[in-house]
Structure 1
Amino acid sequence: MTIVLCVTGSIAATKSIQLARDLRRHGQDVKCFMSEAACDIINPISMEFATNQDVIIKLTGKIEHVKYSQEDLILVAPATASTISKFAYKISDTPITALLLAAYGHNTPILMVPSMHDAMYAGISENLDKLKSEGIHFVDPKMAEGKAKFPDIENIVLESLRLINQNKKD
């Protein structure tokens, strides 16, 4: 099974390295897309090490957003307010939003893990509701210290595996 892990520009991106390693420990192949902002927070080499695969930071003539859009799961962790809102309105202006749009068109399961300031999280509630009504899945953040924080990695892994297994049965 292959999970495409999309890492966006939240400080929670630092936890995505451990998430990728834990997914691999559970037998998943992990391919990683990173946003430009995520690359400012963690080095793509860290994700290459964690996934044992090249990291996609820009689209090329290999049309990576289409190539990986039909994998077993697209996991956006962390998912910023910007990425969630762009995807809610099907704006495709980054490698990650292009991948999300292509995956959505193929009915590939998508799981998002919002991580941001609590005011931003409240501010995008309509976009979250819109995506949920379209069948997009979410792992709710931990609300603490005025932030919508990255949830426990174990919960993300379990929800990812549940969605993959559910999709295999359908």
Structure 2
Amino acid sequence: MFDRPHPQVLYVIACGSSSAFLTLALVKCAQSAGWTVCVITTPYGRNFLDISALEQLTGYPVRSEYKKPEEPDVLPPADAIIVFPATFNTINKWALGISDTLAVGLLSEYTGLNRPIVAVPCFRTGGGLDTNPAFKRSVRLLRKYKVHVLYEPQLYPPKNRVPPEIILTTLNSVIQEKVHGNN
């Protein structure tokens, strides 16, 4: 399944959300667990992240735009992906295959490759977005596509802000399922 005995390169895809400040803690936690981490963000997500801190921490540029065809890839291929924080917009576009940003394009590509992906939607609950039929449909579709959607806002208030350790534990479980052919 993987090119290496154990997954090593993790893409953290961060969307434009008030929860984006938690991306730095997730990156540090993943690095402590032995991952090489690269951060990709939606174009709007750049407004919510400390780009220079993430680039210094990872040693890679934070990408948000497609590269030109003649430009080299600056990021190694991912063995796994965590989408955190995932917005309502990104979840819905991804489920429908609308790849109008680098972030959603990579999610669509890696979903097609059946790579381990954990998505953590983070937005205000009880405001209608979490009960919107489009969101519910998109979560069902992503799960059907073998994406692990970690959405338990009652356990992780506010906004489904799941701790980095829980996200990484979930990713490890998803990887084990794929390695052992249970997924």
TM-score bin (small chain) = 0.7 to 0.9
39-48 or 19-28, which moves further after superposition?
39-48
Q: Which has the larger radius of gyration?
A: 2
Deviations 1:24-76 (A, max 9, x none): 00001111101122111123112213323221121112475x973xx221111
Between the aligned partners of 2:176 and 2:42, the Cα distance in structure 1 is 28
AA paired with 1:161?
N
Is the alpha carbon distance of 1:99 and 1:168 closer, same or farther for their aligned partners in structure 2, counting shifts above 3 Å?
same
AA paired with 2:159?
A
Once the two structures are TM-superposed, the CA of residue 6 in structure 1 deviates from its matched residue by 0.3
TM-score by length of 2: 0.82
Which residue of the partner structure matches residue 158 of structure 1? 169
Q: 2:107 aligns with which of 100, 107, 126?
A: 100
Q: 1:43 aligns with which of 34, 50, 70?
A: 50
Q: 2:143 aligns with which of 107, 132, 146?
A: 132
Between the aligned partners of 2:112 and 2:72, the Cα distance in structure 1 is 15
Moved over 4 A (4+): 144-147
Is the alpha carbon distance of 1:80 and 1:63 closer, same or farther for their aligned partners in structure 2, counting shifts above 3 Å?
farther
TM-score by length of 1: 0.88
Contact preservation (8 Å) 2:116, 2:171: no
Task: Specify the SS of the correspondent of 1:121.
Answer: coil
The structure whose residues are more often helix, as a share, is 1
Once the two structures are TM-superposed, the CA of residue 144 in structure 1 deviates from its matched residue by 7.9
Between the aligned partners of 1:113 and 1:146, the Cα distance in structure 2 is 13
Q: Which runs of 5+ in 1 are unaligned?
A: none
> RMSD between aligned alpha carbons?
2.4
Is the alpha carbon distance of 1:144 and 1:110 closer, same or farther for their aligned partners in structure 2, counting shifts above 3 Å?
closer
Q: Which runs of 5+ in 2 are unaligned?
A: 1-7
Count of aligned residue pairs for this structure pair: 168
5 Å matches for 1:62-81? 62=71, 68=77, 71-81=78-88
Which residue of the partner structure matches residue 118 of structure 2? 111
Between the aligned partners of 1:46 and 1:23, the Cα distance in structure 2 is 16
Between the aligned partners of 1:52 and 1:149, the Cα distance in structure 2 is 29
Is the alpha carbon distance of 1:24 and 1:56 closer, same or farther for their aligned partners in structure 2, counting shifts above 3 Å?
same
Contact preservation (8 Å) 1:115, 1:141: no
Task: Specify the SS of the correspondent of 2:34.
Answer: coil
AA paired with 1:160?
L
Between the aligned partners of 1:141 and 1:20, the Cα distance in structure 2 is 21
Q: 1:19 aligns with which of 5, 26, 30?
A: 26
AA paired with 1:15?
L
